[in-house]
Each structure stands twice: as C-alpha cells, then as structure tokens.
Amino acid sequence: MASFVPRSVFPTLDSLPRSYFLGHHRAGLNKMKTMLTYIDLVIECRDYRVPLTSRNPLFEENLAGRERLIVYTKKDLGSEGRQQDKSRERLIQEWQQPSSVLFSDHKDKSSIRKVLNFARDHAAAKDSLMGSRMMVVGMPNVGKSSLLNALRQVGVHKGKAAHTGAQPGVTRKIGTTVKIIEGDENNEGVYLMDTPGVFVPYVPNAESMLKLALCGSVKDTIIPPTTLADYLLYQMNIYDPQIYADYSSPTNDIIDFLSAVAQKTGRLQKGGTPDVDASALWMIQRWRKGLLGRFMLDYVTESSLEKERRDSEGLGNSLNHARRADKDMRRQRSNQKYLNAS
C-alpha cells in the first residue's frame, strides 16, 4: 500500500464522442425561450459532483434576463460533510456571484426548505396578485424532476408529480407545472415548471465527457463500460484507494481491478472467465449510489474556478463554437482516413 502511486493524469481518449446534443434538447431549449416571458425565476440545476463540468453555457445565453438560482443537486453523492467540502461550497458560491447558489439532496428536507425559502422571498419581492412562476432547467439526469417533486412534497405536502429515472431523457417535453408554495389572500402562490434536460453543445475534452457520463448525463451505451470504469478507478485512486478495499488491492490497471471485482462478486462467464463488462457496470452503479466514496470529480480550487471563467469567456457563442469544433473534428478524422489509406 505504501508504494502505491495513483495515476496523475488520465490518458487522452481522442476517439470518445464529445457531443450528445439531441433533437429534443434543442427543441426543449427553444420552447423554454418562448416561455421565458411568463417566468420570474430560473432555477438552474447542476450536479454537485461536477460543479464546473455540469455548467451549461446554453442556459446563460438563451435564458438571459431572468434572475437565476443555481442549485447543485445530489450533494449527498459528492460530499462527506467535511471541512474541505464546505470550503469548496463557499468557493463555488463566490464564483457564481451575483447568482445565488444552494446545494440540495432531494431526500434532505432542510436543503429543500432552503430552496423553498429562496423561492418564497423572490415571489414576495415581486408582490404580484398572480403569484410567481418559476422554471427548473439543467443537464439531463441532473435531478430536475426529483427537485420539483421534493419542493412540492415539502412545500404543499403533495405526492410525486413528475416522472424520474436513473437514465437521462425521462422528461422529453416541457411538462408538469406544479404548485410548490400555497398562496394566500394576496397572491396565488408559487408554481414551478419542469423542463427536459439539455446537454452542453460541445464538450471541450474527453475527460469532461467521461465525468458527465459517469454522473449519468449521457446514455450508458455511448461510452464502453470498461472505459468509464477505468476513469472511475482513476478518480477513486486520487480520492482514496481504500474505498474499494473489499474488492481489490490498490491498482491502476482496470483489467486487474475488474477481474478482482468479478471474482469477489461472482460475475464470471463460462469456464470462470471474469465478466469485465458486467463488473464495470456494477462498479459504476455502486458509485452512482454513493457506495464507493462520495467525492467531486471536478477539481475545485480558486485557480481552477478562475481558469474555468476565463475559458468560458473566451468561447463566445457556444453553439457556434460547437459547430466549428465539430467541423474541425470531422475534417481531422477524414484527413486521417485519407492518410491511412494512402
């Protein structure tokens, strides 16, 4: 154990897809734009485990002009409640100013009450007889519908109104609008509208794609499970290799690791060969449930946040950038094919 040294960088995987911006993402975003005139507050969800990578510039570009509350969801999966977790949260709050930032776990009523209090104060400041209308937006599978259900449950004691699920794309259309705060004689209360997840138009590097896939923002069929598990192993080793001590001794070799998991959990094919794919999927699911360490995949420090800000300012219109980057990538691939053939 004393001699184990985790990998300091993950190999660059140029062949990984960098886009998952689907037709219903574009359609959903266009519809959100048309609804904006009726909306007083945009609640933008991002994943606590990837606070930088789950930021989608499309929301800032397309839903500008409305106050935004940023809610980092799934806090229970990315934080052990230690001092360094709290310090990171403070950095993120400062980074996002002037937008307000909260952190939520859909099963923790106190975190849901904080979002409700913000919504109540925002609606009170508007002081309208009509009450207030809000919209929840975010990347696929980030937990928008779960947040809406939790706000409704805690706010007006009503049951689940929106479908939720472990795979991205459960909500395909702008749908359910639910009351989350009761009105009184002076106003109609606060209503929240659910929206479909919208993926970033273009992921700047393969590592970001792996992070988003690990958090469930893209379908599990897009990236091979052993590649995803290898990235998880890389991250677990940086965090603490002891978290997988029940299955394997510390290792940087994904096949050794998955073979050990297969042996321990009985995931074997005919003849006793380890089923590495099934073991990879099993490990990924365990991490997604918070059973293999609760940590962030993004590196959050003052300088990493500052770098992210500078990089995003340099991007310009992210859709145009995405188109250009996509075109460049296709051109490079066809040049490569041409060179290989000649």
Ligand X SMILES: Nc1nc2c(ncn2[C@@H]2O[C@H](COP(=O)(O)OP(=O)(O)OP(=O)(O)O)[C@@H](O)[C@H]2O)c(=O)[nH]1
**Residue among 140 and 274 whose Cβ is closer to ligand X:** 140
Give dist(CA 97, CA 112) in Å, integer.
21
Does 170 help bind ligand X (rule: CB under 6 A)? yes
Contact range with ligand X by CB under 6 A, out of 74-82, 115-123, 249-257, 314-322 = 74-82
Member of 40, 105, 207, 298 binding ligand X (CB under 6 A): 105
Is-contact 71 150, C-beta < 8 A?
no
Does 142 help bind ligand X (rule: CB under 6 A)? yes
Does 78 help bind ligand X (rule: CB under 6 A)? no
Does 76 help bind ligand X (rule: CB under 6 A)? yes
| Two tokens, residue 25 | 């993402």
Residue labelled with tokens 């508007």: 126
Inter-axis angle of helices 144-156 and 109-126, nearest 10:
80
User: Is 149 annotated as a binding-site member?
Assistant: no
Residue labelled with tokens 């770098």: 307
**Residue among 131 and 168 whose Cβ is closer to ligand X:** 168
Minimum CB distance to ligand X, residue 70 (Å): 14
User: Is 141 annotated as a binding-site member?
Assistant: yes
User: Is 292 exposed, middle or buried, given 0-12, 13-18 or 19+ CB atoms closer than 10 A?
Assistant: buried
**Residue among 200 and 254 whose Cβ is closer to ligand X:** 200
| Two tokens, residue 289 | 């449930």
Give dist(CA 234, CA 257) in Å, integer.
11
User: Is 146 annotated as a binding-site member?
Assistant: yes
Member of 74, 88, 122, 211 binding ligand X (CB under 6 A): 74
Residue labelled with tokens 């590196």: 299
Angle (CA) 339 340 342, round 5°: 65
User: Is 317 annotated as a binding-site member?
Assistant: no
Binding-site residues:
141-146, 197
Residues that bind ligand X (CB under 6 A): 73-74, 76-77, 104-106, 138, 140-146, 164-166, 168-171, 196-197
Binding-site residues for GTP:
141-146, 197
